[in-house]
Amino acid sequence: MARRFTDDRLVIASHNRGKVREIADLVAPFDVTVVSAGDLGLAEPEETGETFAQNAALKALAAVAVGLPALADDSGLVVPALDGAPGLHSARWAGPGRDFDLAMQRVERELGTGADRRAHFTCALALAWPDGEIAEFTGEVHGTLVWPPRGDRGFGYDPMFQPAGHDVTFGEMDPAAKHAISHRADAFRKLVEVCFR
C-alpha cells in the first residue's frame, strides 16, 4: 500500500511550463500549494532511465533535495510504426530549443505515406518524499496521428494527436476536456486513489 500524501506543499519536478500548469490544475482540488523545480532553480537531472517510470523517479528524487515531497512526470508519444519512437526521446526530438513543430515534422517525415498512424501517449508519475519513499503510477491514451497539425492549445505533440473516439486533436480540445481523458489524467487518477483519498 502506497503512502498517503499529507503535506500542504509539493514540488512539481519539471521545467516545462505547460506540464507544470497541467499538473497544478490536477492537484488544485486538494489544497496543495505547488512550486516548480524551475522556479526553485533546481537543475534538471539527466534522464538516464530505460523506461518512463525510471525517468520520472530520477526527477522526483532529485527534486526532494529541497525537503519537500516532489511529483515528477515522464511522458512521451509512442508510435508503433516507428518502433516506439519518439518514446523516451520525445522531448529530444524537439531539439535544444524544444521546437515541437520540428519534432512533429520529423514524426510525419519518418512515418511516410501509407504507414499505420496509430499512436499513444504514455505518462509515468512518481511521487517521492524526502525520506526516499516513492510511489509510481502509469497512464495511457490511445489515438491516431493527423497531418497537418491542428490547434494551438496544449503543448508538445498535442496538435497532431487525435484521441480515439474524438474528431479533434489535443491541440484543438478544451483543456478541461483534455484533462478528463489524457495519459497524465489517467495516471493521476490512479495516484489520487492511492495517495490523496
74, 99, 131, 186: which one is catalytic? 74
How many CA atoms within 13 Å lie on the side-chain side of 78? 16
CB 120 within 8 A of CB 182: no
Would you state the cell numbers that stand for residue 59, as one nine-digit string? 526527477
Query: Distance between CA 33 and CA 27 in Å, rounded?
Result: 9
In the block, residue with C-alpha cell 497537418: 148
Cα three-residue angle 164-185-143, rounded to 5 degrees:
15
Active site residue 74: yes
In the block, residue with C-alpha cell 529530444: 92
Question: Strand 118-128 vs strand 70-78: parallel, antiparallel, or unpaired?
Answer: antiparallel
5: nearest Cα among 116, 137, 114:
137
> Cβ atoms within 10 A of the Cβ of 132, count?
8
54-70 b/e (C-beta count within 10 Å ≥ 16 → b): bbbbbbbbbbbeeebbb
Residues taking part in catalysis: 74
